[in-house]
């Protein structure tokens, strides 16, 4: 059966494919492949502070997105991630300037902010004072690293259809996925509803501003949304959503307990790994036990759900290639093979132009290969043209 | 297929049960029409079939409902999804995914249908409902008729034996409604699906029905062949009323049969001149609104193209045209609250001063010139009681001025007997409309625009609306009603304006415009054509008092 599924999975395409070579059939890549690629790249980014490498990562992201994104609404969001990234850098720099840490004789003095004296019990933090070039630079590179990681996540969201990505969730988390999907669809309707009611306010010449106007908009919109969601719930219920399957009360409770324990284990494990003073037992063993418990919970929870997927995304060579090149670049950056680890985090004392280490740069460029390893996206659906609608058997019915 | 055995449904907050000791059997492959006024329990009856009543809605169901041998007491709606498919009024409310194909597959995914079977069924359903060209399209960019067909398809893929449709065409224009009903009848004839259909506009569906379930309103249910049930039912489409007036036996239900039966009637009426539906317009009517070159665009796409329109006092104008032809945009632009890219609107002010453009005035002044009741009247309601809404309207309109009437008095004139303390959301559709109308009339505009007021109204409420607009016109106001309902237009309007793609394509007296096109013609006109009769009332007044047809 799986054979049939895979063979049938490539969506039929109308119109010209954007692939100039024309050898590969356009299709959408498995969303998980894009997520692995993006997360691996983000991991690689976390390793370096080198602005040259970071800019290279941004360039690679830009290239892959231009090559392989679709025309869908979610695929137009990358610029917002860029704005967010810029904001992160700006905030980081501004904070560093305001909460100055003083200046040493070796630093290059840039400017001075008025010093605000803090009370004694607050002595740890200074407000204002002299700001050095080094401090700002290190804040900027730190911010840039964070911004790059943000952009990696943004790229994954741009390249992979979020709704399809949610379908990959294990069966036990299916309800969560549906809740997210529904809220994604309801949000635009809510916006439309607000606009409609706002426009209608003028018909009654209600006050355009102030709390009363707000009420005049919120009450009809919320009532509308509530009725709409009730109707949606009824529709989903009558279409078989949440069919019980074979779950007993006991197995449901067991699933819950397993998940809860597993999550506790994961938290404790993460704490143990990150805090050097924690006992060794709390690190990897707790993490491992937590993961096993969670996995068991998900499996058990998934077993009671009987559901199939229409047109599951196939996992083929292209998926391996895209996920692989991401992972390889992360591994290369962590391996320290063939380059000096210090080059990843160039010192700002003395202030000098950072060098571009060859191997990490090559590793990041390798991740950019996803831009042509992934199959071209499906051609956009033809614009809504007035479609003549066949009225079937109308004459006969009369 | 469907059995109701002594079924009584009682909601907790209601004094009387909605359904009382209902015994009902619907056989396999029947197209069953459920008729009744608003609020008599049509939706309850339909909901009981797949267990939404009482599993989802609450309340108590006594007795037994079985569908295909399954008792709904033991099976909640989701367990009946493979037997009963439910389609609601607004297809957009029920969509879970965002493209046509995924929506068709959704129910099957829940039922754990194997992927290979799913592919096959999706293809079959796309063909069956003529949706193959739309398979990758986003649901929200489809037209209303297409969306409703997708909604039907999305329950059909689960191969249900019963299809329950709750007013599937109420939001659609006549052509789109035809399209959906044609699809439904095809399912009945080709696949033997049992269909339970509730519909306010009986003229659209009555000829397809094998059986009619009439809910008279006291909790009982009368079920039988259409020709029998309609003989006595309190609601009936024009074709049935014509049959009753002419004394046909058996009653004819399709236009074709009725035309054959009406041959003697046509012969009798051949020499008569129908009394006009509406009183003749005043010899020298005042022009209350003058629009020239009105253009509305949304992001560069024209919705209304250089429309010129004069509205005269005492005249009721019907604005028709398919969904998306620019009717709403035109009304909003005339009122001044909507966008207007070019053109001018001039409304003479009440005190006889210079003509004013409502768009250039403040909102409060604009609504004193032109009042608009939007498509969703409840958008204007936000307070807790009818009294609060009316008081608010009085203060917004400044009723202190000379000749102004309080909103409460207006409402009592439109629809008497709505208590002060009622929450606006608890009113029926017709009452909500009357309330919003009263609120808008409290500003005493001389031009009144109604955007699709007939949507969701039953025959009774429509009669009520006709009386209201008649009175408004008699007071010398100009009334514009945008609607898809041709029977309503035939009875209410002096003049019909038809729009297509943002242009006015026809503008003239109702009799001329409405009879010119077979889609737009009301049933009476189709049956009695070429005689210029539009309504049953005209025929009744032309016949002798006993109303019987002298022909054998």
Tens-digit pLDDT profile for residues B197-221 = 998 888 888 889 999 999 988 889 9
The reply to whether A300 and A321 lie within a common domain is: no
In a domain, A105, yes or no: yes
Q: What is the pLDDT of residue A81?
A: 92
In a domain, A263, yes or no: yes
pLDDT digits (tens, 9 = 90+) for A112-148: 888 877 777 766 677 778 888 888 898 999 999 999 9
Question: Is the per-residue pLDDT at B267 higher than 60?
Answer: yes
In a domain, A56, yes or no: yes
Number of domains composing chain A: 2
The answer to whether B88 contacts A231, with C-beta atoms less than 8 Å apart, is yes
The reply to whether A369 and A284 lie within a common domain is: no
In a domain, A359, yes or no: yes
Q: What is the pLDDT of residue A393?
A: 37
What is the pLDDT confidence band of residue A76, given thresholds at 50, 70 and 90?
confident
Closest-CA residue of B relative to A213 is B382
The reply to whether A72 and A149 lie within a common domain is: yes
CB proximity A386 to B under 8 Å: no
Mean pLDDT of chain B: 88
The reply to whether A333 and A291 lie within a common domain is: no
What is the pLDDT confidence band of residue B165, given thresholds at 50, 70 and 90?
very high
Question: Is the per-residue pLDDT at A378 higher than 90?
Answer: no
Q: What angle do CA A98, A99, A102 make, to 5 degrees?
A: 105
Is residue A68 classed exposed, middle or buried when 0-12, 13-18 and 19+ CB atoms within 10 A define those classes?
buried
Q: What is the pLDDT of residue A147?
A: 95
Question: Is the per-residue pLDDT at B520 higher than 80?
Answer: no
What is the pLDDT confidence band of residue A209, given thresholds at 50, 70 and 90?
low
In a domain, A232, yes or no: no
Question: Is the per-residue pLDDT at A4 higher than 80?
Answer: no
Cα→Cα distances B15→B10, B12, B155, B177, B420, Å: 8, 8, 35, 37, 21
The reply to whether A326 and A297 lie within a common domain is: no
In this prediction, residues B88-97 reach a mean pLDDT of: 84
In a domain, A90, yes or no: yes
The reply to whether A128 and A250 lie within a common domain is: no
Cα→Cα distances B337→A42, B190, B345, B374, Å: 50, 49, 12, 11
The reply to whether A129 and A250 lie within a common domain is: no
The reply to whether A155 and A36 lie within a common domain is: yes
Q: What is the pLDDT of residue A11?
A: 43
Q: What is the pLDDT of residue B436?
A: 92
In a domain, A351, yes or no: yes
In this prediction, residues B122-126 reach a mean pLDDT of: 92
In this prediction, residues A83-90 reach a mean pLDDT of: 94
Domain that holds residue A284: 246-304
Q: What is the pLDDT of residue B383?
A: 85
Q: Which stretches within A204-246 are classed as H helix?
A: 211-238
- Share above pLDDT 70 across residues of chain A, in percent, rounded to a whole number: 82
CB proximity A3 to B under 8 Å: no
Q: Which residues pair with B497 in a beta bridge?
A: B319, B507
Q: What is the CA radius of gyration of chain B?
A: 25
**Per-range mean pLDDT, top range of A50-64, A249-263, A324-338, B408-422:** A50-64
pLDDT digits (tens, 9 = 90+) for A219-267: 888 888 888 888 888 888 888 887 765 566 777 788 888 888 988 988 8
Region of residue B299 (phi > 0: left; psi between -120 and 50: alpha; otherwise: beta): left
**Per-range mean pLDDT, top range of A345-359, B416-430, B478-492:** B478-492
What is the pLDDT confidence band of residue B309, given thresholds at 50, 70 and 90?
very high
Q: How many other CB atoms are there within 10 angstroms of residue B40's CB atom?
A: 24
A297-335 burial by CB neighbour count: b if 16+ within 10 A, else e? bbebbbebbebbebbbbbebebbebbbbbbbbbbebbee
Question: Is the per-residue pLDDT at B85 higher than 90?
Answer: yes
The reply to whether A156 and A82 lie within a common domain is: yes
- Which of B136, B441, B452 would best serve as a mutation to test chain A binding (most A beta carbons within 10 A)? B136
Interface list for A 218-257 with B (CB within 8 A)? 219-220, 223-224, 228, 231-244
In this prediction, residues B124-132 reach a mean pLDDT of: 89
| Chain A CB contacts of B82 below 8 Å | 240
Question: Is the per-residue pLDDT at A277 higher than 80?
Answer: no
Question: Is the per-residue pLDDT at A96 higher than 90?
Answer: no
What is the pLDDT confidence band of residue B399, given thresholds at 50, 70 and 90?
low
pLDDT digits (tens, 9 = 90+) for B433-492: 889 999 998 888 999 999 999 887 888 889 989 999 999 999 889 999 999 888 999 999
* Lowest-pLDDT range of B56-65, B330-339, B404-413: B404-413
ipTM tops 0.95: no
| Chain A CB contacts of B145 below 8 Å | 389
The reply to whether A65 and A89 lie within a common domain is: yes
The reply to whether A300 and A342 lie within a common domain is: no
- Which of A171, A181, A223, A240 would best serve as a mutation to test chain B binding (most B beta carbons within 10 A)? A240
Q: What is the pLDDT of residue A294?
A: 86
The reply to whether A158 and A253 lie within a common domain is: no
In a domain, A231, yes or no: no
Q: Which of B176, B221, B164 is nearest to B35 (CA)?
A: B221
- Share above pLDDT 90 across residues of chain B, in percent, rounded to a whole number: 41
- Share above pLDDT 90 across residues of chain A, in percent, rounded to a whole number: 21
Q: What is the pLDDT of residue B552?
A: 39
């Amino acid at each position: 059966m799986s054979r049939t599924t895979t063979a049938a999975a490539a969506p039929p395409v109308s119109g010209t494919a954007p692939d100039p070579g024309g050898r590969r059939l356009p299709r959408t890549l498995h969303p998980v492949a894009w997520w692995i690629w993006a997360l691996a790249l983000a991991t690689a980014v976390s390793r370096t502070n080198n602005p040259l490498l970071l800019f290279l990562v941004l360039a690679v992201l830009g290239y892959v997105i231009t090559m392989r994104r679709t025309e869908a609404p979610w695929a137009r969001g990358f610029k917002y991630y860029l704005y967010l990234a810029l904001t992160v850098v700006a905030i980081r720099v501004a904070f560093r300037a305001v909460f100055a840490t003083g200046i040493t004789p070796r630093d290059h003095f840039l400017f001075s902010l008025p010093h605000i004296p803090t009370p004694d019990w607050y002595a740890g933090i200074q407000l204002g004072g002299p700001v050095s070039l080094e401090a700002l630079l290190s804040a900027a590179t730190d911010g840039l690293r964070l911004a790059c990681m943000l952009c990696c996540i943004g790229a994954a969201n741009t390249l992979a259809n979020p709704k399809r990505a949610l379908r990959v969730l294990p069966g036990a988390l299916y309800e969560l996925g549906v809740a997210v999907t529904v809220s994604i669809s309801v949000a635009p309707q809510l916006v439309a509803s607000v606009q409609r009611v706002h426009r209608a306010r003028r018909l009654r010449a209600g006050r355009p501003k102030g709390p009363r106007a707000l009420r005049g908009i919120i009450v009809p919109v919320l009532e509308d949304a509530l009725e709409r969601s009730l109707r949606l719930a009824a529709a989903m219920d009558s279409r078989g959503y949440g069919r019980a399957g074979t779950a007993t009360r006991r197995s449901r409770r067991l699933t819950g307990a397993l998940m809860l324990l597993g999550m506790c284990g994961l938290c404790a494990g993460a704490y143990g790994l990150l805090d050097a003073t924690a006992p060794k037992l709390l690190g990897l063993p707790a993490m491992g036990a937590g993961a096993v418990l969670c996995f068991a919970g998900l499996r058990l929870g998934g077993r009671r759900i009987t559901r199939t997927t229409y047109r599951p995304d196939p996992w083929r060579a292209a998926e391996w290639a895209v996920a692989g090149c991401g992972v390889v670049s992360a591994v290369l950056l962590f391996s320290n093979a063939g380059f000096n680890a210090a080059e990843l985090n160039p010192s700002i004392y003395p202030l000098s132009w950072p060098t571009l280490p060859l191997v990490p740069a090559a590793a990041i460029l390798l991740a950019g290969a996803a831009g042509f390893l992934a199959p071209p996206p499906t051609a956009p659906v033809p614009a809504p043209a007035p479609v003549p609608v066949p009225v079937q058997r109308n004459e006969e019915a009369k | 297929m469907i059995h109701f055995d002594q079924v009584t449904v009682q909601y907790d907050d209601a004094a009387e049960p909605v359904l009382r000791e209902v015994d009902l059997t619907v056989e396999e492959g029947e197209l069953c029409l459920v008729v009744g006024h608003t609020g008599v329990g049509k939706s309850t009856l339909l909901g009981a079939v797949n267990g939404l009543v009482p599993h989802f809605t609450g309340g108590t169901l006594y007795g037994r409902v079985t569908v295909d041998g399954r008792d709904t007491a033991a099976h909640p709606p989701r367990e009946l999804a493979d037997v009963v498919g439910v389609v609601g009024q607004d297809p957009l409310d029920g969509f879970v995914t965002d493209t046509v194909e995924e929506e068709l597959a959704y129910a099957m995914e829940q039922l754990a249908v194997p992927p290979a079977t799913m592919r096959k069924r999706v293809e079959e359903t796309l063909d069956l409902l003529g949706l193959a060209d739309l398979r990758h399209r986003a649901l929200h960019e489809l037209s209303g008729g297409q969306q409703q067909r997708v909604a039907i398809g999305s329950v059909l893929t689960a191969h249900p034996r019963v299809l329950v449709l709750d007013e599937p065409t109420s939001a659609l224009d006549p052509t789109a409604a035809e399209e959906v009903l044609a699809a439904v009848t095809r399912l009945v004839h080709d696949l033997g699906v049992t269909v339970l259909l509730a519909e306010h506009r009986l003229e659209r569906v009555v000829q397809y029905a094998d059986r009619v379930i009439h809910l008279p309103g006291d909790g009982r249910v009368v079920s039988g062949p259409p020709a029998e049930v309609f003989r006595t039912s309190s609601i009936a489409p024009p074709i049935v009323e014509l049959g009753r007036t002419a004394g046909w036996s058996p009653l004819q239900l399709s236009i074709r049969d009725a035309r054959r039966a009406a041959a003697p009637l046509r012969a009798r009426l051949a020499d008569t001149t129908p009394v006009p539906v509406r009183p003749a317009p005043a010899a020298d009517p005042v022009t209350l609104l003058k629009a020239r070159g009105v253009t509305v665009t949304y992001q560069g796409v024209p919705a209304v193209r250089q429309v010129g329109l004069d509205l005269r006092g005492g005249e009721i104008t019907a604005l028709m045209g398919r969904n998306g032809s620019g009717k709403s945009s035109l009304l909003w632009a005339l009122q001044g609250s909507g966008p207007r890219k070019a053109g001018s609107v001039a409304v003479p002010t009440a005190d006889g001063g210079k003509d004013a453009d409502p768009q250039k005035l403040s909102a409060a002044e604009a609504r004193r010139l032109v009042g608009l009741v939007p498509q969703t009247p409840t958008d204007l309601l936000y307070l807790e009681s009818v009294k609060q809404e009316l008081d608010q309207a009085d203060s917004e309109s400044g009723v202190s001025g000379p000749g102004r009437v309080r909103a409460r008095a207006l409402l009592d004139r439109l629809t008497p007997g709505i208590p002060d303390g009622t929450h606006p959301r608890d009113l029926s559709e017709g009452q909500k409309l009357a309330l919003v109308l009263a609120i808008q009339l409290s500003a005493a505009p001389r031009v009144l625009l109604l955007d699709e007021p007939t949507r969701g109204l039953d025959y009774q409420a429509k009669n009520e609306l006709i009386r209201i607009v008649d009175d408004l016109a008699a007071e010398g106001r100009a009334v514009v009603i945008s609607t898809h309902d041709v029977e309503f237009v035939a009875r209410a309007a002096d003049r019909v304006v038809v729009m297509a793609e943002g242009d006015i394509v026809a503008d003239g007296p109702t009799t001329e415009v409405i009879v010119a096109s077979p889609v737009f013609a009301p049933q009476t006109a189709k049956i009695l054509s070429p005689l210029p009769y539009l309504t049953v009332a005209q025929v009744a007044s032309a016949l002798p008092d006993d109303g019987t047809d002298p022909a054998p």
